[in-house]
Amino acid sequence: MSHECVKCGACCASFRVSFYWGETSAHDQGTVPIEFTTAISPHHVCMKGTEQKPVKCIALGGEVGKQVSCGIYEQRSSTCREFEAGSDDCNRARSMHGMPELIVS
């Protein structure tokens, strides 16, 4: 299903991507570049661009619904790693961008 995600990107342009600060490069075992994040509480950050309207993650390249890529794919947060193609949230994001529901079999 990853091929559909490469064309989509709706999730990266629809929701706030928040996670524990320890996943950032500010922690010795973190991977998400700290400069790509904004603090939202003492213990949580979000990806820059996802805390505002319109939403667009700083790491998202390309055009939603056409061809996209993640500039930090190997370093992405657990929030991104756990997001499921074809889930209710996925299809809600796709709908927000005028794309049809994604059916995963």
Any domain includes 90: yes
Q: Is residue 6 part of a domain?
A: yes
Answer whether residue 105 is part of any domain: no
Structure tokens at 35: 């400069």
Domain span at 8: 2-96
Residue range 29-49, pLDDT digits in tens: 999 999 999 999 999 999 999
In a domain, 69, yes or no: yes
Q: Using one digit for the tens of pLDDT, what is the confidence trace for 49-84?
A: 999 999 999 999 999 999 999 999 999 999 999 999
Q: Work out how many domains the chain is built from and give that number.
A: 1
SS3 call for 75: helix
Is the confidence at residue 3, as pLDDT, over 80?
no
Question: What one-character-per-residue DSSP string does 78-100 give?
Answer: HHHHH--TTSHHHHHHHHHTTPP
